[in-house]
Structure 1
Amino acid sequence: MSIERAFVTQPVPFADALGVLRAAAEESRLRILALLSEGELSVSDLTDILGQSQPRISRHLKLLVEAGLIERHREGAWAFFRLCEGRAGLVDPLIAGLDRQAPPLSEDQARREAVRAQRADAAQSFFARLAPKWDQLRSLHVPETAVEAAVLDVLGPRPVHSLIDLGTGTGRMLALLAPRAGRATGLDSSHAMLSVARANLERLGLARVDLRQGDIHAPPFGRGSFDLVVVHQVLHYLDDPARALREAARLVAPGGRLLVVDFAPHELEFLRESQAHRRLGFAAEQVAGWLADAGLGAVETRDLAPTAQAEHQLTVTLWLAAEALVAAGAERAVA
């Protein structure tokens, strides 16, 4: 299932439209636009798919960036490109009308699938090295399916226009929530983990999710950019979780929400060594206090505790905080 982008159609100045059409009116550049309509790609990916030299591909990309048709972002030494949403009203109808079942687009698509398969194999190899540690951690708390069901339940049926998952890891929260979002973004500091997330999401047909490399303590997005911000099983790895939540709260749009999922306090000291945990869980009031200090209110808390008969030893806690203006409005309505 693909994420549908939501756009407001605006009149396009004639000169801008002419510049866009001139930039697209070249075989390689039109093929690049068709490829990027299905998800972001790196220079290396495009070189392999189109069978052209890197300098030539880079020149085409530069012209498309200058025309405002695509945008570039970095993951360490890698550069990835995606379509610009601002030009969608001009570009999408053009791309939608192309016959992808005939050459050269059909051949490009076949080579793209080969690139995706190579990416998935590399991601799987990386994840296989981590899996034993993650399996050990999962065995200590309620099943992931129960956590995910609780996430969906606490969020309810409310529409999500723009979603960001901070510290996205393998992209599991994006896989769960992106299908119901108009726009979805994942941020992680690790290029290797983003490669895993990219492969996982592509396999699910969610290739147009925006994945970015960046620091959760300084996310590269403007204030109020997202109406749902998710911080899932990240805080216990951080030296300064309160700062991370302040930055997360900064991203919450008016009327938006912030969901935090992490462990309640525990005494499993071995997780510091075996799993690199910096914190052994968080008290409900501690996280709620950080959220309030960050300008969010109306915090709803839910615990997923192990049963008396279970071997699980960790309680998973969910905190859902509303943007302060909405919380204040709700309080006035009750009064």
Structure 2
Amino acid sequence: MTEHNTLSVEETLAALRAVGEATRLRLVALLAESELTVKDATAILGQSQPRISRHLKLLTEAGLILRFPEGSWVYYRLADGAAGEFARDLVGRVTTSDPVLSADRERFQAIRKAKAEEAAAYFADKASTWDTERSLHAADSDVERALLRVLGDKPFQSFLDLGTGTGRLLELLSDRYVSALGVDASHDMLAVARANLSRIGLNHAQVRHGDIYALNVPPRSFDVVAIHQVLHFLDDPARALAEAARALRPGGRLLIIDFAPHELEFLRDSHAHRRLGFGHDQMRRWIEALDLEMEQVTDIAPQTDQENKLTVTLWLARDPRIVTDLPVADPTREVA
């Protein structure tokens, strides 16, 4: 084991002292599955906000978890490196049948479900005017020009658009790919997308209902995977990125388009945003954790005379694996 994957005796004792308490062990067990806010943890554990905050502070000071302020919210996740691995290994050795931890997981899943339903209701209400409304937050024409520039002119075989919405990317890139699949969790959005694709006669792309956290596509089956203005609606962006990476062929590219960090809190309530943008360092950590290589980062700033307009960032990553002569999976085939 290399030195950077180990803890000193002092660090190990600090970690053991921090996690050696019932509430803090429950928090670490939850954080081993996903990021959490204090509000989420309070609802799951049924304890007061000051008490939860104190426990999270102790875990942070011990180096087991990291704290990420985002507007008026703060997200917590397990630390990187040896401390995070120590916490995951510890949780992995605790029986999954423990009634307290099982109840915590059930409440956590209920919160996730409620948030997903809230977002679905929002999309259902906004489907018919989605492209117009999205333009209120970013200069789509500038973003699309940058997107085309980043991907280059070279055609590719297969394209996967996650959170396809109204199918705009399927249309924009239609002369670049041989076949494409758009996936979305909203039936209303998919109805609009199908109508749009039919209207322009786009026959080499299809759309399908699906879960971005559990894609029903074969692994290693797409040359380009895009996640366009989707991650800020999700409670667990890293999990969605892992699914996207799973779908990449060796040498394939992952294109992420989303907002840079901002302070527009009203977007949480009015537009169902869960995250107020993503920083370069945060995205790079997620990408490198998936064994992908970040190739390019492009920031598109709003016009200076436009208030409440957000900077949009494009991140382009590549799967560094070498293409082999293994059989190529049909990317549009559903996985049983």
TM-score with structure 1 setting the length: 0.56
Q: Does the 8 Å contact 1:198/1:207 carry over to 2?
A: no
Say if 2:291 is the partner of 1:295.
yes
Alpha carbons 2:127, 2:166 under 8 Å: kept = no
Map 1:104-119 → 2, pairs under 5 A = none
Q: SS of the counterpart of 1:314?
A: coil
- How do 1:159-178 and structure 2 match up within 5 A? 159-178=155-174
Q: For residues 202-259 of structure 1, give each alpha carbon's deviation from its aligned partner in whole angstroms, at most 9, with x where no partner exists.
A: 1111134121111000101121110000000000000100000011011110111000
Partners of 2:130 and 2:202 in 1: CA distance: 27
Residue 307 of structure 1 aligns with which residue?
A: 303
Find the residue that maps to 2:175 and give its secondary structure.
helix
Report the CA distance between 1:324 and its aligned residue.
2.1
Match of 1:232 in 2: 228
The Cα shift of 1:130 comes to 4.7
Q: Is the contact made by 1:169 and 1:193 (CA closer than 8 Å) also made in structure 2?
A: yes
- Per the alignment, residue 148 of structure 2 pairs with 152
Partner of 2:239: 243
Paired with 1:178 and 1:224, the residues of 2 have a C-alpha distance of 21
Cα distance in 2 for partners of 1:133, 1:208 equals: 23
How far is 1:299 from its partner?
A: 3.1
Question: SS of the residue aligned with 1:325?
Answer: coil
Q: How far, CA to CA, are the matches of 1:290 and 1:140 in structure 2?
A: 25
Question: Partner of 1:200 in structure 2?
Answer: 196
Q: Is the 8 A contact 1:306 1:312 kept in 2?
A: no
**Residue 135 (structure 2) pairs with residue 138 (structure 1):** yes
Quick one: structure 1 residues 167 and 296, their matched pair in 2 at CA, closer, same or farther if it must change by over 3 Å? Answer: same
For residues 189 and 177 of structure 1, the distance between their equivalents in structure 2, rounded to whole angstroms, comes to: 21
CA distance in 1, matches of 2:152, 2:177: 13
Q: Is 1:273 aligned to residue 269 of structure 2? A: yes
Corresponding position of 1:222: 218
In 2 relative to 1, CA 157–319 (structure 1 residues): closer, same or farther, beyond 3 Å?
same
Which residue of structure 1 lines up, in the alignment, with residue 248 of structure 2?
252
Contact 2:259 2:277 in 1 (8 A): yes
* Coordinate RMSD, CA, aligned: 2.2
3-state DSSP class of the match of 2:321? Answer: helix
Give yes or no for the alignment of 1:185 onto 2:190: no
Q: Distance in 1 between matches of 2:137 and 2:207?
A: 29
Alpha carbons of 1:130 and 1:202: their partners in 2 closer, same or farther (altered >3 Å)? closer
**In structure 2, C-alpha distance between the alignment counterparts of 1:244 and 1:129, rounded to whole Å:** 23
**1:298 Cα deviation after fit:** 3.1
CA distance in 2 between counterparts of 1:209 and 1:266 reads 34
Aligned-partner Cα distance in 1 for 2:185–2:177: 23
CA contact (8 A) 2:210 2:216 kept: yes
Query: C-alpha displacement at 1:133, in angstroms?
Result: 7.1
Q: CA offset at residue 160 of structure 1? A: 1.2
1:140·1:311 contact (CA, 8 Å) conserved in 2? Answer: no
CA distance in 2, matches of 1:248, 1:171: 18
The amino acid of 1:218's aligned partner reads A
Cα distance change, pair 202–131 in 1 and its aligned pair in 2 (3 A): closer
SS class of match (1:219): coil
Amino acid at match of 1:139: L
Give the equivalent residue in structure 1 for 2:279: 283
- Kindly indicate whether the alpha-carbon contact (under 8 Å) linking 1:133 and 1:274 is maintained by their aligned counterparts in 2: no
Give 2:318's aligned residue: 322
Q: Given residue 311 of structure 2, which amino acid in structure 1 is its aligned partner? A: T
Offset, 1:310: 3.3
Letter in 1 for 2:246: R
Per-residue deviation, residues 159-218 of structure 1 (Å, max 9, x unmatched)? 210000011010001111123211110001111111110000111111341211110001
2:127, 2:216 → 1: CA distance? 28
Matched residue type, 2:206: D
Give 1:315 deviation, angstroms: 0.4
Amino acid in structure 2 at the alignment position of 1:138: S
Structure 1 residues 241 and 127, CA gap change in structure 2 (3 angstroms): closer
**Could you tell me how far apart the structure 2 residues matched to 1:135 and 1:159 are?**
29
5+ residue gaps, structure 1: 1-125, 328-335
Rate the CA distance shift 1:172–1:132 in 2: closer, same or farther, 3 A.
closer
| Kept in 1: contact 2:178–2:204 (CA 8 A) | no
Distance, in Å, in 1 between the alignment partners of 2:240 and 2:125 is 29
